[in-house]
């Protein structure tokens, strides 16, 4: 075998090892772990609550809300949604949001706040998208109720 062919084989091997290493670590971790478990979720919801208060488009909707209860229930809901060991103890989302008449724009605005917080917390992009995909079906229960 020539020197070049041997070098070529070594390169292929190195590439295979490298690709395998790239595919494994966080992408295969459970979604709940990728969010940093309960501690990470609490931090995400802390950040979201801060942003809701600072977001003039949606803050008024929360004027009469008990934010401690909202925080607790949202952590439970998100935890359950990403396969964590939590039970959501609140009411059905459709009931909770009935009477608020949340518009599509308001819905999107809150989701943008959520994305910003997840980004700030360095949640892997694929994990963010997985949560958003799982939340998407709730949209119909939340808007225009």
Binding site for ligand HEM (CB under 6 A): 58, 61-62, 64-65, 69-70, 73-74, 77, 90-91, 93, 96-97, 100, 102, 106-107, 110-111, 135, 138, 142
Contact 123, 35 (CB under 8 A): yes
Least CB distance to ligand HEM at residue 68 (A): 10
Nearer to ligand HEM, 46 or 62 (CB): 62
Other CB atoms within 10 Å distance of the CB of residue 8: 12
According to DSSP, the residues that pair with 102 across neighbouring strands are 143
The residue length of the chain stands at 145
Least CB distance to ligand HEM at residue 36 (A): 19
Nearer to ligand HEM, 90 or 124 (CB): 90
Nearer to ligand HEM, 24 or 65 (CB): 65
* CA distance to 26, 51, 69, 123, per residue, from 29 (Å): 5, 28, 30, 12
Least CB distance to ligand HEM at residue 111 (A): 6
* CA distance to 58, 76, 87, 143, per residue, from 101 (Å): 12, 24, 27, 6
Nearer to ligand HEM, 34 or 74 (CB): 74
């Amino acid at each position: 075998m020539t020197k070049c062919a041997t070098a070529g084989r070594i390169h292929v091997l190195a590439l295979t090892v490298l690709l395998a290493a790239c595919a494994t670590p966080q992408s295969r971790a459970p979604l709940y772990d990728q969010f940093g478990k309960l501690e990470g979720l609490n931090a995400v919801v802390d950040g979201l609550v801060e942003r809701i208060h600072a977001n003039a488009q949606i803050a008024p909707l929360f004027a009469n809300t008990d934010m401690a209860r909202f925080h607790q229930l949202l952590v439970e809901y998100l935890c359950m949604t990403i396969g964590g060991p939590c039970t959501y103890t609140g009411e059905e989302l459709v009931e909770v949001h009935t009477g608020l008449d949340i518009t599509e724009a308001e819905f999107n605005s809150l989701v943008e706040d959520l994305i910003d917080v997840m980004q700030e917390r360095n949640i892997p992009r694929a994990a963010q998208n997985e949560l958003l995909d799982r939340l998407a079906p709730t949209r119909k229960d939340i808007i225009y109720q």
